[in-house]
């Protein structure tokens, strides 16, 4: 689905056959302007879909900051102008995009901040809103995080159910290595140190340490001794990131909550 398709679907959901209130009350020829304003400190994201929405629906949208900007409450993020009826119909859809995505960027910035000055990446997962993945992963980047694989098509990750379906980690890695081209890295999810040994022996390029406690993660890093990229995941919050950021040998912390636990940022649109 393209961005335009997503916008049109959102438009049909909200407007359908028309805006009863605006159609009944507002002069269709009246023009004016307004501003989208941050009502709290936040990291901005979502300007691209908002601007595209206004353009597609015949109104003007002028960003006053950039995606990724850290702003304080009261900051004007964008100027909107044109037919007031059109602006009113775009208002909620645009705010929904920006509030959701700015919330993700803000949440990401907070967690990335816990790993400040450490040689470790904070990355997202595939736990995204259906059809919003590209926007939500962009919001993670705006917040200072990094992206994991985009979908099933651009990276091999052998998880617990793959292992059960195939029979062992070794067999799964062998089959993956045989059937994907030489530029694709193979990641294996492990739940204990015994599985870690098997994944390393099988030649995994990346090992995901799934739902391990901090003590086991540290032991796993020592055991791997740099033989693979190590990623920790599962119940990662600010406190755990702070406690793990300096663990030697841990390269990546993946956090689904960058997206699915993010609180929407508070924005409003006001006419002048």
Closest CA to 240 of 259, 250, 253, 249: 253
In a 3-state reduction of DSSP, which class is residue 210? strand
Rounded average pLDDT over 98-126: 96
Give per-residue pLDDT as tens, 187-205. 999 999 999 999 999 999 9
Q: Is 40 a catalytic residue?
A: no
Of the pLDDT bands very low, low, confident and very high (cuts 50, 70, 90), residue 226 is very high
Rounded average pLDDT over 223-231: 97
Query: Is the confidence at residue 21, as pLDDT, over 90?
Result: yes
173 in Cβ contact with 187 (< 8 Å): no
- Among 52, 121, 126, 159, the active-site one is 159
Q: Is 14 a catalytic residue?
A: no
Rounded average pLDDT over 25-47: 98
Give per-residue pLDDT as tens, 83-94. 999 999 999 999
CA distance 115 to 110: 10
Q: Which helix (H) or strand (E) holds 77?
A: strand 76-83
- Among 121, 127, 149, 227, the active-site one is 127
CA distance 92 to 99: 10
pTM across the whole model: 0.96
Give per-residue pLDDT as tens, 201-211. 999 999 999 99
Q: Is 127 a catalytic residue?
A: yes
Q: Is 92 a catalytic residue?
A: yes
Structure tokens at 149: 């694989």
CA distance 213 to 25: 59
- Sequence-separated (6 or more) residues with CB below 8 Å from residue 12: none
**How far is the CA of 102 from the CAs of 119, 135, 169, in angstroms?**
26, 11, 39
- Among 52, 92, 126, 218, the active-site one is 92
Q: Is 197 a catalytic residue?
A: no
Supply the pLDDT for residue 117.
87
- Among 67, 114, 136, 210, the active-site one is 210
């Amino acid at each position: 689905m393209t961005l335009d398709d997503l916008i049109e679907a959102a438009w049909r959901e909200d407007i359908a056959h028309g805006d009863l209130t605006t159609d009944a009350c507002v002069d269709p020829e009246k023009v004016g302007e307004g501003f989208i304003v941050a009502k709290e400190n936040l990291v901005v994201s979502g300007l691209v879909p908002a601007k595209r929405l206004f353009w597609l629906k015949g109104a003007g949208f002028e960003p006053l900051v950039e995606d990724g900007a850290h702003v304080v409450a009261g900051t004007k993020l964008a100027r909107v102008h044109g037919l007031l009826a059109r602006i009113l119909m775009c208002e909620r859809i645009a705010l929904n995009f920006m509030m959701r995505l700015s919330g993700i960027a803000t949440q990401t910035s907070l967690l990335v901040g816990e790993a400040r000055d450490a040689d470790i990446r904070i990355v997202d997962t595939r736990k995204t809103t259906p059809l919003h993945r590209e926007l939500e992963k962009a919001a993670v980047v705006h917040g200072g995080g990094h992206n994991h694989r985009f979908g099933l098509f651009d990276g091999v990750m052998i998880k617990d159910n793959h292992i059960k379906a195939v029979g062992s980690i070794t067999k799964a890695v062998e089959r993956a290595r045989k059937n994907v081209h030489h530029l694709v890295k193979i990641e294996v999810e492990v739940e204990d140190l015994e599985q870690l040994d098997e994944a390393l022996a099988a030649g995994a390029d990346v090992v995901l340490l799934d739902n391990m406690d901090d003590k086991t993660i540290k032991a796993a890093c020592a055991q791997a001794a740099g033989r693979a990229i190590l990623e920790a995941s599962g119940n990662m919050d600010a406190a755990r990131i702070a406690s793990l950021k300096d663990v030697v040998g841990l390269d990546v912390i993946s956090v689904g909550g960058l997206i699915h636990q993010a609180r929407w940022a508070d924005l409003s649109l006001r006419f002048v």
